[in-house]
Chain A
């Protein structure tokens, strides 16, 4: 009940299409609905719809307060971002804004569409200068997430900026192997774009490239923890708003080349069937049968929350799913996956176990350390749950033609 009601509320929020007010919902159902909205970060988007259903006063108040706090936070974040962009612009450093304030402008209430970080693309030659400028403007580096191609920093107010000179990890398998990012996503090819806040315009990718980027971004998360409703809303609104400006022939050619047609069709099926965001007549996509895969994808999305962070099981499934995706052979059986989960490779270690990356002789110590930590933090059940979720997700990836 929660999921269907949530989707119908979201549909109304985005398109104005009427939704059926539920006859009766007890407090537990309302709490479940509120939590589901929070996990997808759409509680502000569907606030009016929720209030129109007369929820219990305590739920209504909590929802109202949360939405107000989020609205204020979004206004602050957007203001900070535009201040940073103005500083970069003044220093003649062209940065390309991806998603974020460009997509916000598509929503009936832009501040209701939450963003927590800003993805900016910058040319490799300007990367160091961009990094220094952000540091000089009060942003503090997040050393845990910064790596060679991405500088991650945050302001005191909570705006997190990811400054990329490269958007996707270079891989040898799957769709990322076929991606020529240097050709497709060039900072130099950016165009002026309508955006929410500031002076109302920013540099961003042209419509076709931005649509492709959104698909790739969802696909990237799909092979780890998954993604949530917010990303689907973004894509649906974007393709609908810029339908006439997107070069559909070029887009579908690239998606076919990357083997993402089924995936994209499934996303578009959700946009059309569940959110009321359909395109006029894109025959290439309609020829791809997406009813079943779209329904499976929707199930995965509803379970995922934003970028798959809805549960510990989900997050633990990510490494297993990703390993399966990267594998050059047929995906391993259950025992092999378990063995890899416990006796992890050095290059896959994350904090606080990275001490064994450079000192491989410490790898056994890292295995024991991980196991002890899991036991102490009672994560054994999560690990088992994680494998179960990974199995399900790998099945889904196969149905989407994203894996063999």
Chain B
């Protein structure tokens, strides 16, 4: 599943004012001519509205809420979603979506998204493991064909003879792969 990261910024010309126990978003300057009213928001909403004076990702907002209120990431994300709903309805926001986030930045994503991402990651790892095993088998077959011994036997003999590279690896000398040779010859004929 692909998912998107949202960046939020408040539209210019709006400020938060605290009056008594309430917070309200009010228009200023030129905005007053197009927007005659006010929106009441709660304390968390007021905090978030101040945060998005400049462009911020939902990730950064979650971090900010956790730091300010000591809540968990799920609660933080729910608060942000509620805030975005309210402010979008009142056309107070400029939002932008960007592509999928790198895996190491996904620490605070919702549980269901996290599960899906981890599953995909596990599948990719499994896929790579299968591909590595296939490559190893193929190499083993070519060594067997060339030297009449298994890859492991070939490597043991090289180690015993002291033919080890400086980084500890074993150099395998093989004749060219017949399949690669025929593909290269076919490609030369086409270019010619």
- On whether A64 and B26 interact (CB within 8 A), knowing A72-B38, A76-B32, A79-B32, the answer reads no
Tell me if A311 counts as interface (CB < 8 A to partner B): no
- On whether A51 and B21 interact (CB within 8 A), knowing A68-B40, A75-B28, A79-B32, the answer reads yes
Tell me if A208 counts as interface (CB < 8 A to partner B): no
- On whether A72 and B24 interact (CB within 8 A), knowing A79-B29, A79-B32, the answer reads yes
A28 to B21, CA, bound (A): 23
Interface range on chain B (Cβ under 8 Å from partner): 10 to 19
Nearest Cβ distance between residue A43 and chain B, in whole angstroms? 10
Taking a contact as CB atoms under 8 Å apart, the answer to whether A68 and B21 are in contact is no
Taking a contact as CB atoms under 8 Å apart, the answer to whether A47 and B19 are in contact is yes
Tell me if B125 counts as interface (CB < 8 A to partner A): no
Tell me if B17 counts as interface (CB < 8 A to partner A): yes
Tell me if B20 counts as interface (CB < 8 A to partner A): yes
A51 to B22, CA, bound (A): 11
Taking a contact as CB atoms under 8 Å apart, the answer to whether A67 and B28 are in contact is no
Nearest Cβ distance between residue B127 and chain A, in whole angstroms? 59
A47 to B18, CA, bound (A): 12
Tell me if A321 counts as interface (CB < 8 A to partner B): no
Taking a contact as CB atoms under 8 Å apart, the answer to whether B22 and A64 are in contact is yes
Taking a contact as CB atoms under 8 Å apart, the answer to whether B17 and A71 are in contact is yes
Tell me if A44 counts as interface (CB < 8 A to partner B): yes
Within 8 A of A (CB), among B11-41: 17, 19-22, 24, 26, 28-29, 32, 36-38, 40
Taking a contact as CB atoms under 8 Å apart, the answer to whether B32 and A51 are in contact is no
Q: Nearest residue in B to A198 (C-beta to C-beta)?
A: B29
Tell me if A173 counts as interface (CB < 8 A to partner B): no
A113 to B28, CA, bound (A): 18
Taking a contact as CB atoms under 8 Å apart, the answer to whether B28 and A68 are in contact is no
Taking a contact as CB atoms under 8 Å apart, the answer to whether B19 and A64 are in contact is yes
Q: With a CB–CB cut-off of 8 A, which chain B residues contact A67? A: 19-20
- Select A44's contact among B19, B32, B36, B37, beta carbons within 8 Å: B19
Taking a contact as CB atoms under 8 Å apart, the answer to whether B28 and A64 are in contact is no
A67 to B32, CA, bound (A): 19
Q: With a CB–CB cut-off of 8 A, which chain B residues contact A72? A: 24, 26, 37-38
- On whether A47 and B20 interact (CB within 8 A), knowing A68-B38, A68-B40, A72-B26, the answer reads yes
A51 to B19, CA, bound (A): 11
Q: Contact flags (1/0) for A59-82 with B, using CB distance below 8 Å?
A: 000011001100110011001000
Interface range on chain A (Cβ under 8 Å from partner): 10 to 19
- Select A48's contact among B20, B24, B26, beta carbons within 8 Å: B20
Within 8 A of A (CB), among B138-183: none
Q: With a CB–CB cut-off of 8 A, which chain B residues contact A71? A: 17, 19, 24, 26
A47 to B17, CA, bound (A): 14
Taking a contact as CB atoms under 8 Å apart, the answer to whether B20 and A64 are in contact is yes
Nearest Cβ distance between residue A156 and chain B, in whole angstroms? 10
Q: With a CB–CB cut-off of 8 A, which chain B residues contact A76? A: 32, 36
Taking a contact as CB atoms under 8 Å apart, the answer to whether A68 and B24 are in contact is yes
Q: With a CB–CB cut-off of 8 A, which chain A residues contact B37? A: 72
A246 to B191, CA, bound (A): 96
Q: With a CB–CB cut-off of 8 A, which chain A residues contact B26? A: 71-72, 75
Taking a contact as CB atoms under 8 Å apart, the answer to whether B28 and A79 are in contact is yes
A337 to B150, CA, bound (A): 129
Q: Contact flags (1/0) for A195-214 with B, using CB distance below 8 Å?
A: 00000000000000000000
Within 8 A of A (CB), among B34-73: 36-38, 40
Q: With a CB–CB cut-off of 8 A, which chain A residues contact B28? A: 75, 79
Within 8 A of A (CB), among B106-151: none
Q: Nearest residue in B to A109 (C-beta to C-beta)?
A: B19
A76 to B20, CA, bound (A): 19
Q: With a CB–CB cut-off of 8 A, which chain A residues contact B22? A: 64, 68
Q: With a CB–CB cut-off of 8 A, which chain A residues contact B29? A: 79
A51 to B21, CA, bound (A): 8
A48 to B17, CA, bound (A): 14
Q: Nearest residue in B to A71 (C-beta to C-beta)?
A: B19
A48 to B18, CA, bound (A): 11
Q: Nearest residue in A to B40 (C-beta to C-beta)?
A: A68
Taking a contact as CB atoms under 8 Å apart, the answer to whether A68 and B19 are in contact is yes
- On whether A64 and B21 interact (CB within 8 A), knowing A72-B26, A75-B28, A79-B29, the answer reads yes
24 examples of A-B residue contacts, CB within 8 angstroms: A44-B19, A47-B19, A48-B20, A51-B20, A64-B19, A64-B20, A64-B21, A67-B19, A68-B19, A68-B20, A68-B24, A68-B40, A71-B17, A71-B19, A71-B24, A71-B26, A72-B24, A72-B26, A72-B38, A75-B17, A75-B26, A76-B32, A79-B28, A79-B29
Write the residues of chain A forming the contact surface with B, with a CB cutoff of 8 angstroms: 44, 47-48, 51, 63-64, 67-68, 71-72, 75-76, 79, 111
19 further A-B pairs in the complex, CB-CB below 8 A; given A51-B20, A72-B24: A47-B20, A64-B19, A64-B21, A64-B22, A67-B19, A68-B19, A68-B20, A68-B24, A68-B38, A68-B40, A71-B17, A71-B24, A72-B26, A72-B37, A75-B28, A75-B32, A76-B32, A76-B36, A79-B32
The 10 A-B residue pairs with the shortest CB-CB distance in the complex, in nearest-first order: A47-B20, A64-B20, A68-B19, A72-B38, A71-B19, A67-B19, A79-B32, A51-B20, A72-B26, A76-B32
